[in-house]
Amino acid sequence: MRSVIHFVFFFIIVFNEAQVNGTLNNKRFPDDFKFGVATASYQVEGAWNEDGKGENVWDQVTHRVPSPIVNNDTGDVACDSYHKYKEDVAMLKDLGVDFYRFSISWSRILPTGFANEINEAGLQYYKNLVKELRANGIEPLVTIFHWDQPQPLEDLGGWTNDIIIDQFVDYARILFRELGNEVKYWLTFNEPKQTCNQGYGTAQKAPLITSPGMGEYLCTHNLLRAHAKAWRLYDEEFRQEQQGTIGITIDTPWFEPFSNSTADIEAAETKLQFTFGWYTNPIVYGDYPSVMQTNIARRSAQQGFKESRLPQFTEEEKAYIKGTYDFLGVNVYTTFLVSSTDEPDPSMGLDEDSEVLDWQPDDWESTASSWLKVVPWGMRKLVTWIKNTYDNPKIMITENGYSDNGTLEDDGRISYYERYLSSLRDAMELDGVDVIAYTAWSLMDNFEWMQGYSEKFGLYHVDFNSPNRERTAKKSALWYKNLLETRCLVEECVD
Ligand SMILES: *[C@@H]1O[C@H](CO)[C@@H](O)[C@H](O)[C@H]1NC(C)=O
Ligand SMILES: *[C@@H]1O[C@H](CO)[C@@H](O)[C@H](O)[C@H]1NC(C)=O
Ligand SMILES: *[C@@H]1O[C@H](CO)[C@@H](O)[C@H](O)[C@H]1NC(C)=O
Ligand SMILES: *[C@@H]1O[C@H](CO)[C@@H](O)[C@H](O)[C@H]1NC(C)=O
């Protein structure tokens, strides 16, 4: 009886505003389409120095005095998922997700970053998590690297030193060997643009290096070669026996031309190439986008450099990197407008090198995050552009989500998910985009990087003032649960 009352109550509150909105796509999601939720190790695990874990760059940055993080927050405890993973899996089970995307902390497995010594306790944590997921019928989707390189490798230059390529591949090999019988979906990297541009260019993410127009290109050059080597390792030594699949997650906003002028349309395409193409063009076609090569070579010469600041792949490397994906993971949250300019900024930096302007109008619907405006139609345009630009790849949306103040009555989040998913469904139905999965960011409120705990993305609320870190389902969790049961965005779908 109680559950019937709950259900009726839920139906009334959730469907009152959501229902029968003529603008939402009314086609059911296909039977083989997968829904999941995501987290990342540093953002949820806590236990930063327990059971032999080594220090990583986020431990290092959050422990600086004065702290660069909002409210001096740290991920030392975060959601305490290291101790509460069974509760997390119970939440996942209750939501009814097909899969859970989480990441592995390199420093938990290899405390120094080097593979000479494996920390068995750290490995055991992930074996336990995977076992618990499997026991509950939930598929693990594992991100091998989500921004938290071991500090001892950072001390040697981190992603700007090419010794990290082989260290990463050694680390990946341990994961394939130890977890690959149970894990069938892998992502090598999460959002490499943030690792490289914000980590080594603009100092907006750990390790907070300021080297615009230089650091991010060196980082990316190593990261792409590490990705390719890990993909080939899996392909050659593990795939046949383990029968899994491996990709990479690349993030981008949609970039919409400000006007229909040829110059603005070209400017928007250039911005997409400098953001998504930077990683995807090498992986799909073997080299950096030509507009990046041209712009950066010309500007480097003007700035007095003997060679382009954009490193070059050898012919052998191009052939080696080309084709190293089974599917493309895409993280998308928002849209920017782009226009051309007659007076490009001559200074060094990724954005400056693109020689276009981008911005978000103030009157676009806002969230708790300054960069995140709600623009549902950008979803369809982006995935359709990816289909047309990269030879119709299989696409997994590996993150999409909305930030607020953590309220349990999170109607804004429900409305965001409805409209973005409707736009995605339109792309599948009307543009034939091959989207195979959708991942909501995030399972629960967590450590939002430089913003600490001030911006909340969770379907579940976490009480960060309580040592027990109690989790509570928000209204959006109930909405997502219903979506996963009906696979339908409106009251009644057509198949
Ligand atoms: C319903 O559609 C209108 C536009 O017709 C839109 O403004 C509104 O946000 C939509 N509601 C939801 C819950 O998506
Ligand atoms: C953060 O730490 C500094 C000391 O480094 C202190 O002065 C400041 O009050 C702290 N801020 C908050 C919000 O706790
Ligand atoms: C560009 O042209 C299309 C099709 O004619 C039109 O729908 C759209 O509103 C135009 N966009 C701008 C920004 O003028
Ligand atoms: C959080 O946001 C909700 C919904 O916008 C609002 O009703 C509530 O007052 C806010 N709470 C705080 C503490 O700001």
> Which atom number of ligand 4 is nearest to the Cα of residue 411?
4
> What is the average pLDDT across 209-219?
98
Q: Tell me the pLDDT band of 153, cut-offs 50, 70 and 90.
A: very high
What pLDDT, on the 0 to 100 scale, is given for residue 458? 99
Spatial neighbors of 412 by CB under 8 A, at least 6 apart, are 367, 402, 404
Q: Rounded CA gap, 185 and 90, in Å?
A: 21
Q: Which residue has the tokens 């103040």?
A: 405
Sign of the dihedral defined by the CA atoms of residues 328, 329, 335, 339, in that order? negative
Per DSSP bridges, beta strands 328-331 and 245-251 are parallel
Calculate the CA dihedral of residues 23, 17, 377, 477 and round it to 10 degrees.
Answer: -130
Question: What percent of the chain has pLDDT above 70?
Answer: 96
pLDDT at residue 445 greater than cutoff 90: yes
If you search the block for the tokens 């509150």, which residue do you land on?
Answer: 13
- Burial class (CB within 10 angstroms; exposed 0-12, middle 13-18, buried 19+) of 207: buried
Quote the pLDDT of residue 495. Answer: 85
Residue 204's Cβ-count burial label (10 Å; 0-12, 13-18, 19+) is: middle
Question: Could you give the angle at which helices 215-233 and 163-179 cross, rounded to 10 degrees?
Answer: 40
In a mutational test of the pocket of ligand 3, which residue from 256, 258, 259, 260 has the highest number of ligand atoms less than 8 Å from its CB?
A: 260
Q: Are 411 and 420 in contact (CB under 8 A)?
A: no
* Ligand 3-lining residues (CB < 6 angstroms): 259-260
> pLDDT grade, residue 12 (50/70/90)?
very low
Per-residue model confidence (pLDDT) at position 22: 54
Q: Where does the pLDDT of residue 17 fall: very low under 50, low under 70, confident under 90, or very high at 90 and above?
A: very low
Q: Are 425 and 369 in contact (CB under 8 A)?
A: no
Which helix H or strand E contains 140, and what residues bound it?
Answer: strand 139-145
Interval between CA 363 and ligand 1 midpoint (Å): 17
Per DSSP bridges, beta strands 34-38 and 245-251 are unpaired
Strands (DSSP E) along 365-446, which ranges?
Answer: 395-399, 435-441
Q: Which atom of ligand 2 is the closest one to the Cα of 71?
A: 13
Helix (H) or strand (E) holding 229: helix 215-233
Give, in order, the Cα–Cα distances in Å from 294 to each of 262, 270, 279, 306.
Answer: 19, 11, 16, 15
Distance of CA 386 to the CA centre of its chain: 16
Residue length of the chain: 495
pLDDT (average), residues 461-483:
98
Question: Can you give the pLDDT at residue 18?
Answer: 42
| φ, ψ for residue 145, nearest 5 deg | -135, 115
Q: Which ligand is nearest to the CA of 16?
A: 1
H or E element in which residue 10 lies: helix 2-18
Q: What share of the chain is helix, strand, coil (3-state, %, to 5)?
A: 45, 15, 40
Average pLDDT over residues 346-361: 98
List pLDDT tens digits, range 236-247.
Answer: 999 999 999 999
User: Known catalytic residues?
Assistant: 191, 399
The whole-number pLDDT of residue 19 equals 40
Q: Determine the straight-line distance between the first and last CA of the chain, rounded to whole angstroms.
A: 32
Distance CA 268, CA 274 (A): 10
**Ligand 2 interacting residues, C-beta cut-off 6 A:** 65-67, 71-72
What residue ranges do the domains of the chain occupy? 24-486
pTM: 0.94
Indicate which residue's Cα is closest to atom 5 of ligand 3: 260
Band (296; pLDDT cuts 50, 70, 90): very high
Residue 23's pLDDT band (boundaries 50, 70, 90)? confident
Could you read off the pLDDT of 395-427 as tens digits, one per residue? 999 999 999 999 999 999 999 999 999 999 999
**Residues of the chain above pLDDT 90, percent:** 95
Q: Two tokens at 303? A: 């700035």
Q: Where are the alpha helices (DSSP H) in 38-144?
A: 41-44, 57-62, 81-95, 106-109, 120-135
pLDDT at 9 over 80: no
pLDDT at 265 over 80: yes
Look up the CATH number of domain 24-486. Answer: 3.20.20.80
pLDDT at position 16, please? 40
Nearest CA to ligand 1 atom 14: 415
What does the pLDDT look like over 154-185, one tens digit per residue?
999 999 999 999 999 999 999 999 999 999 99
**Ligand 3 centroid, distance to 372 Cα (angstroms):** 24
CA of 255 to the centre of ligand 3 (A): 15
CA dihedral 165→169→172→177, nearest 10 degrees, is -170
pLDDT value at 76 more than 90: yes
Per-residue pLDDT reduced to its tens digit, 299-346: 999 999 999 999 999 999 999 999 999 999 999 999 999 999 999 999
Q: What is the DSSP string of 274-291?
A: IIIIHHHHHHHHSS--HH
* Mean per-residue pLDDT over the chain, rounded: 96
Burial class (CB in 10 A: 0-12, 13-18, 19+), 203: middle
- Distance in Å, CA 357 to ligand 3 centroid: 19
